[in-house]
Structure 1
């Protein structure tokens, strides 16, 4: 017999995420170097009993438990199943099962090289000049503190005897090469690196030695020390925990979570991490959720902000997006924002970053024991963690909210006029000022939201902890506003940040007052949008409330504020174009684009199709150039969306018959099977795609379709289009007007057994 089809000569396009085992329903993005683990998930459970029951069910299905999470901070597990069918069945069961609080796909992140391509030649030159057992003398002489310490007052705290002694700091990164001189030369009790382990995709092992190099650099900035080589980190007498994630350059989110939780178990008093998932944006993503809870448990957590300035505003790295997490951006030695640094705020207009620190060509120790310089927010972050340890040592507290307030309010806003709060938060950290401040301010920052959701007023609580009366004068410092969208008000700026010399209009309920020792007062702050800006382009305006202690020129605090002119809800969260392709079943990383709209695509049979006897279809002919593979569709998200779902809309409805159900033996959809949501009549939502809190880009918001619906049924063969509904930023899910809709062109879809065999 001969089948009536032939393979077309098609143009192959490589898709990184699919080639590396991306989820069958979520395609990772090579732009942000993230993807998703195939048929794998993270579950958060209500109780330990629920965790045990689910683990047994997964193992009964032949699945693998990757990590168990058994702390009060986070109860659950991560796992993967061996086939698409078992994964789909399990996912459908989880949607209605009690005891499940959350279910997420497992994202992965690929670490870049230790230096960016544009910096590589310069870095290699610097590295060559200082390589050797005593090489650091060229950039950090014994007689002089390194420039990044001078710039942030770390040297002044060192001079007072503060060094982080007795403080335990956890590092979630690529591990630490504890064998080098600057990090103590050993691992375990009585060593500088005393705690830690290796957390890869499926196991936990005891040795955290660094094979990549990134984590060793982070540790050296945080707590390195070699008197002989003239090298000193911010907290050289701190005890470190090294929580190495992954065995190479690929790191999975479930392992990252396991590492953070182990750091808590080991009693780390501060936890720092300089890598995460860029564009993760949302506080509700799994790692950000866990880290926020650690902060709520009383552990200060510090995370790098990210290095993707080219992606525009609202590009916060997960888990620095977490609430209460200290997010750190990078400054140059000259005090400007580092060229690669990302930009906030979050899509819910939480202020990020909190502060900035030197991260451009800073002195570091490499994993081979030599010294040099390296750049990135990765290397600004550990300096802030070390400063936090010095502040805790000086003040005798690890209270996360207090330390955040001290760091932010004593930071120095940079720029003239000031750089946007979306770029620098409170500004450049000042360690000595934070450690010795006698005025405290809560909260650390003021977020006024957008025009539609404007907070009418926010209150600052100012407390005098000095031993004498203090008179205060309050004023405001304006910062540059930055346009979010292009000149048409449609697409985000991706390669530049257009500023405008205008900022919000600030009113204070009182501007002068005197406080006695231990006395507090509240100041109400109201804000209005700046004049003369184009609201449709969503200008992000910001500035600082300046709190001056009268008679003391050096005692000035600042509180950053931020708002948006215009409606974030009105932003087009999806681009007009929706792309669709076909994934080659024999080469999963290859996509075919050229005939998907004009030529039918045939996917593998559903599990029950062979036993059902269904196959031939009445009145439906498959053309000779039918394509074999799975449809892959992409809806580009511009900034982010709280929720997106994709409906499968049939073009051909079967004649009315009683008790009709979906069948893979007829090329039409029974009218009785249609469901209507906001005017869209479809067979339902595709399986495992209705996820919350999506980031920007095409690939992260793509999916592979094999015919399966969220209901567990398979669509009949026939003509279809995908219709995506995405909730607007700050939108109400119960308001149909807050959902935005995009659709693909029509395509024809079927299964292998639907092909007609003829002699």
Structure 2
């Protein structure tokens, strides 16, 4: 079972009966007529399926790139992937591979990612590729649920029916057990987010009722499992409906979710002293049914989880958005046949289906043409700050791209733009003049009125070297756009090039990202928009390495990785492989506040070393790198185009050239190049040296 760390064993069968993600994605594109009354957005397409995940874990770039290459070689006309991880670099290997396929004429859509909480500059891996369409998520205006039928009794009275959604694990069987609640507060946002009190009863003979919210499902389930729980029923913290939950924790046999209203009713009964017994029918045979209600809280707004761009080098990300929150689609038969899931993973296949529909009408699969028309005809949405709060300004381009896709408009528009977006870069590389071409494919002339519609400007680094988390603080200034011509007339079957002159927002610190839309309203009642963005600040001057939290640690201190004591000594094995016999290795926690295009970890002999140990391989021979006398990088370094965040690099004595460092006392020096930095100029790096330590071999 491939988990991203072991060796994959390919086979010709992509069937998945343990996760369901790919089946759900496929149904969004091509589901056929079914009892639930929906179809995929492009039900007549032919699907190819290339499975890259096992049952859990991750997938390596080698597997992902191989899948893309195989799809291309097999003749795929559109390739979509609802996969990704933090990056921010168009130079990411997977991003480059997908970019090259786009350049060969195959449109590729990739999910933007579900890390909206991380704030700006968190574009996803392949989604960050040049020419690759990165798809953001908008919440469904309906809130569908697939419910399983079950019953409950109150004080051994007559049966009452309720609906619930099974999760993972789902080994419920036929269960009839009393309900026990963590507490009776239906507004407790942190229900079961901390260890339960010592007087908690043995929960093995209860179904434990837990409110959704704040911490992860896994954390909540872990806390109740510590008191013997085997079955957990969540109740939702929003109305209406429920969703599938994944919380695989030792000892837990089954998890599920019911609605907020049903949970509140049970809490009312329990708090009044009644006993409530749930009677769960085995999900494999239980009757299931769909329900739906208007999503009055967030319907039509950007999903708060959707990841924000742009790339670190200011390429525009995202491209546009599609419905991805609360989406009903197909699911493996073993897991219930239908399910409601949320994520940019759900938005992405819908965008791919729109590509198919638009390409059929327009008679082209040219990725640039399709991206341009879909972006230009998309509808920018108002900003959603979460918790039921919406703004009176547009969501930024780095969150929603061109806006919510409009398939019909993209298919039939007779006015097309030469670009899908504009980047004005940062203050050091400011683009003060930009051009784009408007082409009229109709047989009559059209006059367009041009205007600037700013979106929200959001601070990036308002209080520290780290990007502000969502919800970012809004800056008071926006960009101005000067139009030499505020009206342009495009003759029938003609084109006009438009020149614009942007002006930066002024008086702002904290490297805010500004954005907006050049609106074009036509005399034929057509309307188009062209998204733009830039940074009011210098990306090159921003700190990338968190030197205070980059330090020497040891493998023995995993998983917390506390700082190593001063002058530590490590007895390593004298071979070119990490031993698994309990050997303790030095390691370095590297914390990047922003991504870096180039990170080194140099092995530098410590100036006060007194080691005289004989060495049969070779004596230390150093070279110089920007003022360091170094043996070179540790094996695996330098690293290129590294995302932000903390990583741990273990050193077994091996150098980048494949030889072992001699025994002695060393420091590991981390150097991280600034965005847009010159890798030959020390001033463009952040650098920190570890505590000195000694290695010897045994």
Quick check: TM above 0.5?
A: yes
Q: What corresponds to 1:544 in structure 2?
A: 517
SS at match of 1:521: strand
Residue 335 of structure 1 and its aligned partner are, at CA, apart by 2.0
- 1:728 counterpart = 2:674: yes
Q: What corresponds to 1:576 in structure 2?
A: 547
In structure 1, C-alpha distance between the alignment counterparts of 2:606 and 2:542, rounded to whole Å: 30
Query: 92, 97, 101: which is aligned to 1:294?
Result: 101
Q: What corresponds to 2:184 in structure 1?
A: none
Contact persistence 2:609–2:665 (CA under 8 A): no
Moved more, 510-519 or 352-361: 510-519
- 1:746 counterpart = 2:692: yes
Query: 326, 329, 340: which is aligned to 1:361?
Result: 326
Contact persistence 2:122–2:310 (CA under 8 A): yes
Residue 715 of structure 1 and its aligned partner are, at CA, apart by 2.2
In structure 1, C-alpha distance between the alignment counterparts of 2:118 and 2:418, rounded to whole Å: 32
In structure 1, C-alpha distance between the alignment counterparts of 2:661 and 2:62, rounded to whole Å: 33
Q: What corresponds to 1:280 in structure 2?
A: 87
Contact persistence 1:581–1:591 (CA under 8 A): no
In structure 1, C-alpha distance between the alignment counterparts of 2:614 and 2:666, rounded to whole Å: 16
Q: What corresponds to 1:111 in structure 2?
A: none
In structure 2, C-alpha distance between the alignment counterparts of 1:664 and 1:422, rounded to whole Å: 56
Residue 677 of structure 1 and its aligned partner are, at CA, apart by 1.4
- 1:706 counterpart = 2:679: no
Q: What corresponds to 1:641 in structure 2?
A: 596
Contact persistence 1:544–1:558 (CA under 8 A): yes
Aligned pairs for 1:530-569 within 5 A: 530-534=505-509, 537-552=510-525, 555-569=526-540
- 1:695 counterpart = 2:501: no
- 1:469 counterpart = 2:445: yes
Specify whether residues 654 and 639 from structure 1 end up closer, same or farther in structure 2 by C-alpha distance, changes over 3 A only.
closer
Contact persistence 1:664–1:714 (CA under 8 A): no
Contact persistence 2:446–2:490 (CA under 8 A): yes
- 1:392 counterpart = 2:368: no
Residue 484 of structure 1 and its aligned partner are, at CA, apart by 1.0
- 1:414 counterpart = 2:381: yes
Aligned pairs for 1:297-336 within 5 A: 297-332=104-139, 333=141, 334-336=299-301
RMSD between superposed Cα atoms in Å: 2.6
Specify whether residues 470 and 590 from structure 1 end up closer, same or farther in structure 2 by C-alpha distance, changes over 3 A only.
closer
Contact persistence 2:567–2:691 (CA under 8 A): no
SS at match of 1:358: strand
Could you tell me the TM-score, scaled by structure 1's length? 0.66
In structure 1, C-alpha distance between the alignment counterparts of 2:301 and 2:27, rounded to whole Å: 24
Contact persistence 1:603–1:630 (CA under 8 A): yes
Residue 526 of structure 1 and its aligned partner are, at CA, apart by 2.3
Residue 378 of structure 1 and its aligned partner are, at CA, apart by 0.5
Q: What corresponds to 2:614 in structure 1?
A: 665
Specify whether residues 592 and 432 from structure 1 end up closer, same or farther in structure 2 by C-alpha distance, changes over 3 A only.
closer
Q: What corresponds to 1:683 in structure 2?
A: 631
Residue 652 of structure 1 and its aligned partner are, at CA, apart by 3.8
SS at match of 2:47: strand
Specify whether residues 325 and 664 from structure 1 end up closer, same or farther in structure 2 by C-alpha distance, changes over 3 A only.
farther
SS at match of 1:204: coil
Specify whether residues 309 and 357 from structure 1 end up closer, same or farther in structure 2 by C-alpha distance, changes over 3 A only.
same
In structure 2, C-alpha distance between the alignment counterparts of 1:464 and 1:592, rounded to whole Å: 61
Aligned residues: 522
Contact persistence 2:111–2:127 (CA under 8 A): yes
Specify whether residues 592 and 521 from structure 1 end up closer, same or farther in structure 2 by C-alpha distance, changes over 3 A only.
closer
Query: 578, 599, 609: which is aligned to 2:568?
Result: 599
Contact persistence 1:582–1:596 (CA under 8 A): no
Aligned pairs for 1:440-519 within 5 A: 440-488=416-464, 490-519=465-494
Specify whether residues 650 and 430 from structure 1 end up closer, same or farther in structure 2 by C-alpha distance, changes over 3 A only.
same
SS at match of 2:357: helix
Specify whether residues 365 and 664 from structure 1 end up closer, same or farther in structure 2 by C-alpha distance, changes over 3 A only.
farther
In structure 2, C-alpha distance between the alignment counterparts of 1:432 and 1:216, rounded to whole Å: 26
In structure 2, C-alpha distance between the alignment counterparts of 1:353 and 1:676, rounded to whole Å: 41
Specify whether residues 594 and 410 from structure 1 end up closer, same or farther in structure 2 by C-alpha distance, changes over 3 A only.
closer
SS at match of 1:514: strand
Residue 280 of structure 1 and its aligned partner are, at CA, apart by 2.3
Specify whether residues 236 and 663 from structure 1 end up closer, same or farther in structure 2 by C-alpha distance, changes over 3 A only.
farther
SS at match of 1:636: strand
Could you tell me the TM-score, scaled by structure 2's length? 0.71
Q: What corresponds to 2:302 in structure 1?
A: 337
More helix by share: 1
In structure 2, C-alpha distance between the alignment counterparts of 1:205 and 1:712, rounded to whole Å: 34
In structure 1, C-alpha distance between the alignment counterparts of 2:126 and 2:365, rounded to whole Å: 20
